Structure 1
Amino acid sequence: MNSPWIKRYHPAPQAPTRLVFFPHAGGSATSFFAAAKALSPEVDVLAIQYPGRQDRLAERPVEDMRTLVGLITDELMPWTDRPLTLFGHSMGSSVAYEVALRLEEKGVRPLGLFASGRSAPSVPLSRRLHLVDDDALVRHLRELSGTDSQLLADESLLRMVLPALRGDYRALETHTPEPGRTLACPVVALCGDADPVVDPDDVALWERHTSASFRMRVLAGGHFFLDAHLPVVAQEVREHIAATTAR
């Protein structure tokens, strides 16, 4: 099942369940390389690679959320022979939520959705970053402190990633989630207590988007708090999968 959309850095063919990671805006599948290693071999980890970056640099970013979600869902269907847990960070949480809804429409109920570093879908987006100039986008990257400083200092590399980042923001910011739709699977929301762009009160509103259980955990750190809390987050994932499969 080779696909440019799916990276499998630490395959765990004997694992009873799978986890699918969805990167942040401008991000790539490799941002979850360490997380995949931490969860293997108990969990078979897949990481989504959006077009327009790394090995897909020559492809145009998908700038429409519905199109992006449809393409990803189709790519994931062959992997649904085992239960799936979805984990998104920042923009990836929004994509994972929409994919979870689409999977449930197809009769595939995920074990759960981990929504990390993202306000609930019902919270309106106040920024329109896909419309700002390149300098403003770079300032935003520095504000988040989630992009490697060497990349920010290298003009040629920076210009290579900006089209993907802008395309991701256009997909995110021009999409209006359909009101009233809730997941049948549990939701676990994670956020940093010092995130400059995400308010924990807005993260707590994820509870409205599931008819199943909801849990929220606030960890120390900014927007990319996951980097400093990988062991804790990996354990959260393991415990959630174990408890859900036991039920």
Structure 2
Amino acid sequence: MTAASRWFHRPDPRPHARIRLVCLPYAGAGAAVFKGWAERLAADVEPLWVRLPGRENRLRERPLAQWPELVDEFAAALTEEVPSPYVLFGHSMGGMVVYKTVTSTALSRVPERVVISACRAPDVPRAVPALHELPEEEFARGLADLGGVPAEVLAGRGLFRMLEPMLRADLRLAETWPPDPPGPVPVPLTVLWGDADHVAPRAAVEAWRRLALGGYRGREVAGGHFFLTDPAAGVVELLNREIGGCG
């Protein structure tokens, strides 16, 4: 396995696919949040789930907590491992990574479209308090209030302490977003928001329209901030429709 290939989990390799879908999870999560998606994607779409350092089979690697390093390394891996045409999807912090990557000079081949989910536009203030510098107990309580981290991780002190550096690194990225003045999205953009999301509510997500010079579509789904883990939200079906016109 090469350094670049470690960034991607291929649950269902489809070498002759018409197009590839590259998905980035929310802060603290890995490729496992996309379990069950591959079989629901269109047959001509190859799924690739992104694993950032510090989780799953990259647990021993140093988590990345600085935007320039993360974007440069991910853009290089994407260029090496994922042929065109492809679409980028990111949920919450994953959406931030998608935006920073697609607007980075480090990316040599842009995607056909980007889909940003449950993620406020970069010129919209954060709606929840910052957590990444809190003491351990307060940090754990803040994560519990936010949701998204399994209860067994927060309850098991040994497991929590093992994952804490990665969780803090991810939250630091999300809470120092954006690191630079926002620029336009150079490709067509679709945004998704949950009708009960208080972290990235509709107005905060629809604000992406101002940066969508390549075209914009907005879609509302049922659920709170972590709606992508609920099959009833229909995210995979929405992605099939968005990808259908690409490539």
CA–CA distance in structure 2, aligned partners of residues 110 and 35 of structure 1: 20
Q: How many residues align?
A: 244
1:92 aligned to 86, 91, 94, which one? 94
The amino acid across from 1:114 in the alignment is V
Distance 1:96 1:123, change over 3 A: same
> Which residue of 2 is the match for residue 172 of structure 1?
174
> Which residue of 2 is the match for residue 123 of structure 1?
124
Higher helix proportion, which one? 1
Where do residues 124-203 of structure 1 align in structure 2 (5 Å cutoff)? 124-125=125-126, 127-203=129-205
Three-state SS of the structure 1 residue aligned to 2:87 is strand
> Which residue of 2 is the match for residue 220 of structure 1?
222
> Which residue of 2 is the match for residue 49 of structure 1?
51
State whether residues 64 and 174 of structure 1, in contact with CA within 8 Å, keep that contact through their aligned partners in structure 2. no
> Which residue of 2 is the match for residue 14 of structure 1?
16
Return the TM-score normalized by structure 1. 0.90
- Cα deviation code 1:210-237 (max 9, x no counterpart): 2122111222211111122467211211
> Which residue of 1 is the match for residue 114 of structure 2?
113
Distance 1:149 1:174, change over 3 A: closer
> Which residue of 2 is the match for residue 240 of structure 1?
242
Distance 1:195 1:95, change over 3 A: same
**How far 1:9 moved relative to its partner?**
1.3
State the Cα RMSD in Å.
2.1
CA–CA distance in structure 2, aligned partners of residues 54 and 226 of structure 1: 19
Distance 1:172 1:228, change over 3 A: closer
User: Structure 2: which 5+ residue stretches go unaligned?
Assistant: none
CA–CA distance in structure 2, aligned partners of residues 177 and 109 of structure 1: 21
Distance 1:108 1:195, change over 3 A: same
CA–CA distance in structure 1, aligned partners of residues 231 and 215 of structure 2: 23
User: Structure 1: which 5+ residue stretches go unaligned?
Assistant: none
State whether residues 193 and 205 of structure 2, in contact with CA within 8 Å, keep that contact through their aligned partners in structure 1. yes
> Bigger CA drift: 196-205 or 34-43?
34-43
**How far 1:125 moved relative to its partner?**
3.1
**How far 1:152 moved relative to its partner?**
2.7
CA–CA distance in structure 2, aligned partners of residues 225 and 237 of structure 1: 14
Return the TM-score normalized by structure 2. 0.90
CA–CA distance in structure 2, aligned partners of residues 222 and 19 of structure 1: 24
Three-state SS of the structure 2 residue aligned to 1:235 is helix
CA–CA distance in structure 1, aligned partners of residues 12 and 42 of structure 2: 6
**How far 1:121 moved relative to its partner?**
1.3
Three-state SS of the structure 2 residue aligned to 1:141 is helix
Three-state SS of the structure 2 residue aligned to 1:19 is strand
> Bigger CA drift: 158-167 or 221-230?
221-230
Q: What is the percent sequence identity of the aligned residues? A: 36
